[in-house]
Amino acid sequence: MTMSRRAFVGGLAGMTVLARTGSAQDPAAPAVQRYVRFLTGERVVYGLVDQETVYELRGSIFESPARTGLMYPFSKVKLLVPCEPTKVLAVGRNYASHLGELPPPANPELFYKPLTSLLDPEGTIIIPPGTQDCHFEGELVAVIGKKAKNVSVEEAKTCIFGVTCGNDVSARDFQANDMQWWRAKGSDTFGPLGPMIVRGLDYGNLLLTTRLNGEVKQQQSTRDLIFDLPTIVSFTSRYVTLLPGDVIYTGTPGSTSAMKSGDVVEVEIEGIGVLRNTVK
């Protein structure tokens, strides 16, 4: 079992997860639901995690999925990026601790990351040629569960299916010198995501921790976000239609530092688990 799976499974002891859907903010919904997307043989399927077992699901996790009757030990499945977005967005400058001398923005500052930047849990972050200053950025990521266009902040809460961990890998020298961030934040493997999507958490108050080779580099609560998740979703939906499976990286706290080949970076968020990736 990998380090990330030990960390995750250990946190599930005694917890029961039910395969029902509903708003993450709905008091009638089950307390916590954990979904993964994984490879079994040559098939890619979704699953529901209950303690150390993954129950295979039929259909979209965004539309009342049903169990197929097949189950697998969590430690044996090959985890993939936990959903299939049509678009990946990210918010910059969303923690005061990351701003330095910069003033806080008036609105969420969004940018795109290409789909090809996404990277599976346990996948390898590839540092591309030309950069000497490639940083980690541990982040909470919102996963959209239903179409959102011109929604209010209150309506946006019902559009957020759940949350997961993300790493907005950033080549700082590209970021400083290029006109756009297309390669600084969008190079292949620059968007690790996972290990699972979790519903039912109070995502406005989760502890985020980033470790590099086991050393804590970032640690802050998501309650310190300048713009919370519903505000980000509502603002985004004024201009861009969000669809089920779309993801929004919500910003990184504190300071970041460069990674080098052979490093291991872990983004851990309370209640979600550990997103672990090596660097090459």
Is residue 69 located within the same domain as residue 94? no
Find out whether 108 and 93 touch, Cβ atoms under 8 Å. Answer: no
Is residue 27 located within the same domain as residue 150? no
Is residue 68 located within the same domain as residue 144? no
3-class secondary structure, 200: coil
- C-alpha to C-alpha distance for 230 and 29, rounded to whole angstroms: 19
* pLDDT band for position 139 (cuts 50, 70, 90): very high
- Reported residue count of the chain is 280
Omega within 30 of 0 (cis) for the link into 195: yes
Identify which of 246, 203, 268, 20 has the alpha carbon closest to the alpha carbon of residue 276: 268
Is residue 21 located within the same domain as residue 148? no
Report pLDDT digits (tens) over 80-127.
999 999 999 999 999 999 998 899 999 999 999 999 999 999 999 999
| Domain boundary, last residue among 61, 79, 97 | 79
Is residue 191 located within the same domain as residue 52? no
Mean pLDDT, residues 7-11: 42
Is residue 254 located within the same domain as residue 273? yes
The residue type at 63: E
Which parts of the chain are beta strand (E)? 33-40, 43-50, 53-58, 66-73, 78-79, 88-92, 109-113, 118-119, 124-125, 134-135, 138-144, 160-167, 170-171, 191-199, 207-212, 215-221, 247-249, 264-269, 273-279
Report pLDDT digits (tens) over 201-256.
999 999 999 999 999 999 999 999 999 999 999 999 999 999 999 999 999 999 99
Is residue 194 located within the same domain as residue 166? yes
- C-alpha to C-alpha distance for 250 and 228, rounded to whole angstroms: 8
Mean pLDDT, residues 161-166: 98
Is residue 59 located within the same domain as residue 95? no
Identify which of 99, 52, 84 has the alpha carbon closest to the alpha carbon of residue 194: 84
* pLDDT for 268: 98
- C-alpha to C-alpha distance for 266 and 138, rounded to whole angstroms: 8
| Domain boundary, last residue among 79, 107, 138 | 79
Is residue 255 located within the same domain as residue 193? yes
- C-alpha to C-alpha distance for 150 and 122, rounded to whole angstroms: 36
Q: Which domain holds residue 38?
A: 3-79
Please, which residues bridge with residue 22 across strands? none
Find out whether 274 and 8 touch, Cβ atoms under 8 Å. Answer: yes
What is the domain-level CATH number for residue 189? Answer: 3.90.850.10
| Domain boundary, last residue among 62, 79, 96 | 79
Find out whether 199 and 269 touch, Cβ atoms under 8 Å. Answer: no
Is residue 11 located within the same domain as residue 103? no
Domain tally for the chain?
2
What sign has the CA pseudo-torsion 218, 224, 228, 232?
negative
Is residue 61 located within the same domain as residue 106? no
Is residue 126 located within the same domain as residue 247? yes
